[in-house]
């Protein structure tokens, strides 16, 4: 470790007035099932099998935890426990049969496999590692166990998570009002620089964000009037980022589900085969956003109309007399990996004026996503500036920190 980096680490230690371990009720791992393929299920399974909702919990994996907010991807954990008199109890067989018969039937199908897991003593459906549900449902900071950079996120929605892939940080009562401020510190370049000097690097440039390293993080709580102003600014900017990220998450999911997410119940539709000239001879097409393209040209026959052509492969294309329809179809194709000729012919195209409104809203949403990202990035830079100021980091020290972080994370 270069001497200049050691000096910065030592300086941060001397400026801080707390370790993260002093401020937390606990840093804990999540639930271990020993059978994720059975006990971690998606929304389709829940709906198809009509699972009783009270016994399933929204569930995160390490890959779902990213900076500022987690991205819940529709997974659930079958959690056969209840709280009574501040204690956690496993549901009995009779309770499951009567209160959650559909979940019980599902578990029964896997009785033999579930019963062979380590740590299972009372019932075949219990979990080897249990955490109190109240703990998960509290306001907390979470982080993936393995990451190439600081990815601390805020959760107040009661998300459960997996042991070995996610850690949860629950602040003591007296520091709960500082959760945004502390989140801002944890996601700053300064504390990322510090963390990467106390946690060993693993293959691929990844680091372990587990308890023994998290506890050591040096936290500077504001004391002087000037420091309290800085702390308040960090708090406000983190609040702004969280609002932007929540909106961004919703818009990104909407874009991901394009075009269905833009359809409305009263809309009428037509098919591609009725709105274009199709020159397709293959039964299916691999769709590559890099290869598909559209360009306008004049049809060389009477009445010499303008045509927009989408090319899927050599001599395989679709011609449109409406540039608007061509633009819509091109955006739909970008969401696909492969499509059969039949699927293309049956492609739903909204009738006017719905198509125009759809494309307008779609473009506005994409512009809003770009805007949110840009504003969030600027707020992150402002938070970094404030954290540097709080920890008395000089400009030369800042350059060392940012060069290091860029090299080992960005």
Region 351-373 average pLDDT: 95
pLDDT at 288 over 90: no
User: Buried (b) or exposed (e) across 207-224, using 16+ Cβ within 10 A?
Assistant: bbbbbebbeebbbbbbee
Whether residues 232 and 137 share a domain: the answer is no
Question: Are residue 237 and residue 369 in the same domain, yes or no?
Answer: yes
Whether 401 maps to a domain, the answer reads no
In this prediction, residue 302 has a pLDDT band, given cuts at 50, 70 and 90, of low
Number of domains in the chain: 3
Residues ≥6 apart with Cβ < 8 Å to 262 = 254, 358, 361, 362
Instruction: For residue 324, give its domain range.
Output: 269-350
Half-sphere exposure of 215 (CA within 13 A, CB side): 9
Q: Are residues 228 and 157 in the same domain?
A: no
Element (H, E) at 320: strand 316-320
**Together in a domain, 182 and 62:** yes
Mean of pLDDT over the chain: 92
- Residues 203, 117 share a domain: yes
Confidence bin at 314 (pLDDT 50/70/90): confident
245 and 210 housed in the same domain: no
24 and 62 in a single domain? The answer is yes
Tell me: do 128 and 18 sit in the same domain: yes
204-254 residue pLDDT tens: 889 999 999 999 999 999 999 999 999 999 999 999 999 999 999 999 999
How far apart, in whole angstroms, are the C-alpha atoms of residue 386 and residue 381? 9
> Are the C-beta atoms of 148 and 66 separated by less than 8 Å?
no
> What's residue 391's pLDDT?
97
Helix (H, G, I), strand (E, B) or coil at 366: helix
Pair 13, 86 in one domain: yes
Q: What is the mean pLDDT of residues 315-341?
A: 91
Residue 128: count of CB within 10 angstroms of its CB: 15
Q: Could you tell me the pLDDT band of residue 306, with boundaries at 50, 70 and 90?
A: confident
Q: Residues 309, 242: one domain?
A: no
Other Cβ atoms within 10 Å of 269 Cβ, number: 12
Nearest to 57 by CA among 77, 81, 39: 77
Alpha helices in 225-311 (DSSP H): 225-256, 272-275
Identify the pLDDT of residue 358.
96
Residue 402 included in any domain: no
Is 335:260 a contact under the CB 8 Å cutoff?
A: no
List Cβ neighbours of 7 (8 Å cut-off, separation of 6 or more).
none
3-state secondary structure of 165: coil
Is 408 part of a structural domain of the chain? no
- What pLDDT shows up at residue 299? 63
Position 410 scores a pLDDT of 61
């Amino acid at each position: 470790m270069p001497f200049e980096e050691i000096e910065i680490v030592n300086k941060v230690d001397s400026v801080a007035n707390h370790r993260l371990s002093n401020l937390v009720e606990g840093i804990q791992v999540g639930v271990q099932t020993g059978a994720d393929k059975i006990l971690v299920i998606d929304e389709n399974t829940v709906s198809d099998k009509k699972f009783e909702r009270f016994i399933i919990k929204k569930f995160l994996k390490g890959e779902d935890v990213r900076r500022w907010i987690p991205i819940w991807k529709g997974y659930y954990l079958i959690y056969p426990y209840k709280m009574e008199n501040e204690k956690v109890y496993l549901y009995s067989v009779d309770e499951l049969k009567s209160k959650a018969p559909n979940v019980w039937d599902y578990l029964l199908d896997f009785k033999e496999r579930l019963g062979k897991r380590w740590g299972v003593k009372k019932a075949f459906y219990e979990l080897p590692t249990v955490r109190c549900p109240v703990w998960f449902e509290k306001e907390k900071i979470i982080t993936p166990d393995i990451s190439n950079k600081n990815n601390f996120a805020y959760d107040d929605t009661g998300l459960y998570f997996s042991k070995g892939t996610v850690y949860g940080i629950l602040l003591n009562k007296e520091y709960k009002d500082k959760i945004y401020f502390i989140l801002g510190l944890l996601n700053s370049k300064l504390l990322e620089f510090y963390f990467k000097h106390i946690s060993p690097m693993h293959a691929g440039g990844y680091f372990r964000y587990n308890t023994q390293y998290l506890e050591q993080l040096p936290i500077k709580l504001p004391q002087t009037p000037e420091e309290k102003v800085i702390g308040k600014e960090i708090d406000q900017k983190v609040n702004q980022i969280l609002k932007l990220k929540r909106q961004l998450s919703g818009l990104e999911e909407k874009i991901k589900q394009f075009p269905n997410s833009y359809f409305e119940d009263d809309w009428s539709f037509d098919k591609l085969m009725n709105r274009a000239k199709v020159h397709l001879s293959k039964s299916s097409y691999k769709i590559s956003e890099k290869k598909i393209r559209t360009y306008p040209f004049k049809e060389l026959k009477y009445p010499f109309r303008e045509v927009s052509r989408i090319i899927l492969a050599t001599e395989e294309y679709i011609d449109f007399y409406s540039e608007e329809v061509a633009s819509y179809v091109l955006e739909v194709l970008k969401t696909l990996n492969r499509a059969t000729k039949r699927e293309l012919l049956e492609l739903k195209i909204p009738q006017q004026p719905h198509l125009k409104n759809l494309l307008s809203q779609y473009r506005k949403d994409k512009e809003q996503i770009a805007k949110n990202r840009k504003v969030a990035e600027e707020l992150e830079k402002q938070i970094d500036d404030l954290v540097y100021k709080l920890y008395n980091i000089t400009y030369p020290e800042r350059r060392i920190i940012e060069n290091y972080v860029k090299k080992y994370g960005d």
